[in-house]
Amino acid sequence: MPNQLGSHLIWGQSLLAWIFMSPGEEIFHLGWFRLKWYGVLIAAAVLIGVNLSMRLAKTRQIDSETIADLAIWLVLGAIPAARLYYVAFEWQNTYSQRPLLDIIKIWEGGIAIYGAIIGGTIAAIIFARLKQISFWQLADIVAPSLALGQAIGRWGNFFNSEAYGSRTAVPWKLYIPVKNDYFEPTFLYESLWNLLVFSILMWLFVKNTRHHNLKTGSLFLVYLIAYGIGRYWIEGLRTDSLWIGSLRISQVISLVGITIGTIGLLWLYIRRRSLPDVV
């Protein structure tokens, strides 16, 4: 059985194995106050993402204070939407049998990244309209930070012992104490995939800063395609998916994102036309 340090190495005959096990969801608690890893990681992801986006904004001649203001809008749009998205698709199984007040108890868990992306996108469109700034230009600046933030945030699932796949015997595996068994560490797969997406987006961003060969909106469209591909595959491994009928809703949204991204890139580079915008 794994030790209590969170993860450890096991040397086989010729294979290095890594077994993950959460040390617990809390960092510490004092009376009623409980500091949890998930909250700390989400906060860190937001702070790092805002700082990165402010730096990237300077290369696009956008005031960094504009990005700081946008960050507030994104948080206000993303968090409620992430919760409502989760509640909506868990309504029949969970929340229809519970008091309505439970809907707002976000501290008990239950948010969805696709809900956050949808809510954040709506907030960004409104912000861009009010500030008379291109939405697609803002989306390109934020896209790398979004991918990096998701890579960081997924480790919150590790500490909560959630978002894992089916039972497995692969060398890299997640031990869940309450089930006394090993599972696919899908949180790790998505974190690594998001790091890859982040690296691709940053490479494109830096390259475009030097050569100006990308059209406005391209980076965000690439994000939709790249993240959608990885999420579609990883979602198929998970055992805690949200469903709509017989379909995993995250796979459906992934396909929608891939489709939007593909059509958008074709529109930009085949039709050679600009994307519809708020200004």
Strands (E), the chain: 7-11, 16-20, 26-30, 33-36, 172-176, 181-183, 243-244, 247-248
- Provide the pLDDT for residue 98: 87
Q: What share of the chain is helix, strand, coil (3-state, %, to 5)?
A: 60, 10, 25
Quick: pLDDT tens for 135-180: 999 999 999 999 999 999 999 999 999 999 999 988 889 999 999 9
* pLDDT of residue 7 exceeding 60: no
Mean predicted confidence (pLDDT) in 48-60: 96
Cα 104 from Cα 98, distance rounded (Å): 12
Mean pLDDT of the chain: 91
Write b or e for each residue in 34-63: b if 16 or more Cβ atoms lie within 10 A of its Cβ, otherwise e. Answer: eebbbeebbeebbeebbebbbebbeeeebe
- Provide the pLDDT for residue 13: 36
Quick: pLDDT tens for 202-220: 999 999 988 888 999 999 9
Model confidence at 268, pLDDT cuts 50, 70, 90, reads: very high
Cα 256 from Cα 166, distance rounded (Å): 26
Mean pLDDT lowest for which of 8-22, 43-57, 218-232, 237-251? 8-22
What residue spans of 91-134 are helical by DSSP H? Answer: 113-131
- Provide the pLDDT for residue 107: 74
At 105, list the tokens.
Answer: 């108890």
Model confidence at 10, pLDDT cuts 50, 70, 90, reads: very low
Cα 222 from Cα 258, distance rounded (Å): 9
Is there a contact between 121 and 136 (Cβ–Cβ < 8 Å)?
no
Mean pLDDT lowest for which of 109-113, 191-195, 238-242? 109-113
Model confidence at 101, pLDDT cuts 50, 70, 90, reads: confident
Instruction: Give the CA-trace dihedral at 34, 35, 39, 44, to 10 degrees.
Output: 160
DSSP state, residue 59: T
Mean predicted confidence (pLDDT) in 23-33: 89
Cα 269 from Cα 181, distance rounded (Å): 49
Quick: pLDDT tens for 70-89: 999 999 999 999 999 999 99
